Amino acid sequence: MEMGLGGARDGAMECAAMRPWRLVALLALAGCNTTTAQLTAVVTGGVAGASTGSPAVGFLVAVATDAGANYVVRYVGRTRQGAEQDAIAEVAGGLPVGTEAAWKIEHTIPIGNEHGQLRVVRDIDSPLAACKELAFSVDESKTRSWYTADVCKQAERWKWASAEPAVERWGFLQ
Amino acid sequence: MLTRLVLLSMSACALSGCNSVLTATTTDVAGIAGAGVASAVTKSPAAAAGIGLGIAAGANAGLQYVERNVHTVEQDRIAQAAGALDPGVVGHWDVSHKIRIEDNEHGDLVVTRLIGSSDFNCKEIVFSVDTMVKQAPNRAFYTATVCQDGTAWKWASAEPATARWSALQ
């Protein structure tokens, strides 16, 4: 996520007094997914350890909480990323080759909204499916970053179609 | 006990294909069981915690190794099927896993473009993953690139830009 260190730190400080699940939800939306699960686990484990007087119990609770919180953070992140992919695919599906249009995603909770331009560069013609290759930008206040992807029509909707990388190439990214 | 718990969680998840839960559960169970065993043999909570964390990390690495091997088989099967196809000809692919942490899958595929020169051969493909959703056939389409490595065709799509990856890790 693009959130800087300052943003992550501010978010954590605001949430320090909240219940752990609220901390997970808010930080997940704010995009601090690398620290959220562990932070929640440490908070929960610390409370458990203090209340039982046993550091070992605290550790066990922390490990279990870490796993659960990590799952929730990943689920929320994937759902939101999926919504953005759907938004881009929908715009691309209605565009002829060579034309350009704007795209945007506005989440129900307005954190992580993005927008940019989109251009269909090629129809991927085949007897199996209707697919398109596209280039899209993600526009920030001062920068515009370009990416490419493929979309295909599934039943009635256009969906993101770029498949996963080769197993050998995703080593440090999962 | 530890082995049984891990195997139980793996087999339960294999039926529903819940890889994320599988990762969390395996690590979780191994870590808790490891810490539990350690706390039985040492009176130091810190030592127990350290052993538990070590076992959790080891279990996670082991599971990731298995998952990668299993998924490589599916990519290899699709790449192999694509290698034999000329552009525009629809072929079929399927995979049956020996370890059921991923579903056995099947679908059609077609080569949409040839990429290459005198010293490398690649193909752009569109493939489907055919499933049943609520008793109705469902077909999802994806695109990828395969390239010829020696005599074998292998999956060649590189990873997404790291700026686009964050929510997925």
Residue B12 pLDDT > 50, yes or no?
no
Q: From the candidates A60, A125, A146, which should be mutated to test the interface with B, based on the most B CB atoms within 10 A? A: A60
**Out of A40-49, B19-28, B55-64, which region has the weakest mean confidence (pLDDT)?**
B19-28
DSSP run (H or E) holding B138: strand B136-149
pLDDT tens readout for residues B63-79: 888 888 888 999 999 99
Residues whose CB falls within 8 Å of the CB of residue B116, separated by 6 or more in sequence, listed in order: B122, B147
Who has greater pLDDT, A54 or B133?
Answer: B133
pLDDT tens readout for residues A22-42: 555 555 555 445 555 666 666
Percentage above 90 pLDDT, chain B = 44
Task: Check B126 against A80: CB less than 8 A apart.
Answer: no
Q: How confident is the model at residue B83 (pLDDT cuts 50, 70, 90)?
A: very high
pLDDT tens readout for residues B113-145: 999 888 899 999 999 999 998 999 999 999 999
Identify which of B71, B158, B166 has the shortest CB distance to residue A1.
B166
- The Cα B123–Cα B120 span in angstroms is 10
Task: Check A169 against B159: CB less than 8 A apart.
Answer: yes
Highest mean pLDDT among A32-36, A50-54, A69-73, B32-36: A69-73
Q: How confident is the model at residue A166 (pLDDT cuts 50, 70, 90)?
A: very high
Task: Check B144 against A71: CB less than 8 A apart.
Answer: no
Average pLDDT, whole number, for chain B?
Answer: 82
Task: Check A170 against B27: CB less than 8 A apart.
Answer: no
Contact (CB, 8 A) for A132 and A123: yes
Residues of B in contact with A154 (CB under 8 A): 139-141
Residue B155 pLDDT > 80, yes or no?
yes
Task: Check B167 against A77: CB less than 8 A apart.
Answer: yes
Q: What is the pLDDT of residue B6?
A: 47
Residue B32 pLDDT > 90, yes or no?
no
Residues of B in contact with A54 (CB under 8 A): 45
| Region A3-21 average pLDDT | 41
Tell which residue, B156, B166, B163, has the closest CA to residue A137. B163
Residues of A in contact with B112 (CB under 8 A): 124-126, 131
pLDDT tens readout for residues A62-117: 777 777 887 888 888 888 889 999 999 999 999 999 999 999 999 988 888 999 99
Residue B154 pLDDT > 80, yes or no?
yes
- Chain A and chain B share a number of CB contacts under 8 A equal to 144
Q: What is the pLDDT of residue B25?
A: 65
Average pLDDT, whole number, for chain A?
Answer: 78
Contact (CB, 8 A) for A87 and A157: no
Q: What is the pLDDT of residue A37?
A: 63
Task: Check B45 against A59: CB less than 8 A apart.
Answer: yes
Task: Check B108 against A163: CB less than 8 A apart.
Answer: no
**Out of A8-17, A28-37, B2-11, which region has the weakest mean confidence (pLDDT)?**
A8-17
Residue B18 pLDDT > 70, yes or no?
no
Residue A146 pLDDT > 60, yes or no?
yes
Q: What is the pLDDT of residue A24?
A: 52
3-state helix, strand, coil in chain B (%, to 5): 50, 30, 20
Residues of B in contact with A64 (CB under 8 A): 28, 32
DSSP run (H or E) holding A159: strand A157-160
| Region B16-29 average pLDDT | 59
Residue A11 pLDDT > 80, yes or no?
no
Residue B102 pLDDT > 50, yes or no?
yes
Who has greater pLDDT, B42 or B9?
Answer: B42
Q: Is B8 in a helix, a strand, or coil?
A: helix
Residue A137 pLDDT > 90, yes or no?
yes
Q: What is the pLDDT of residue A139?
A: 94
Contact (CB, 8 A) for A1 and A31: yes
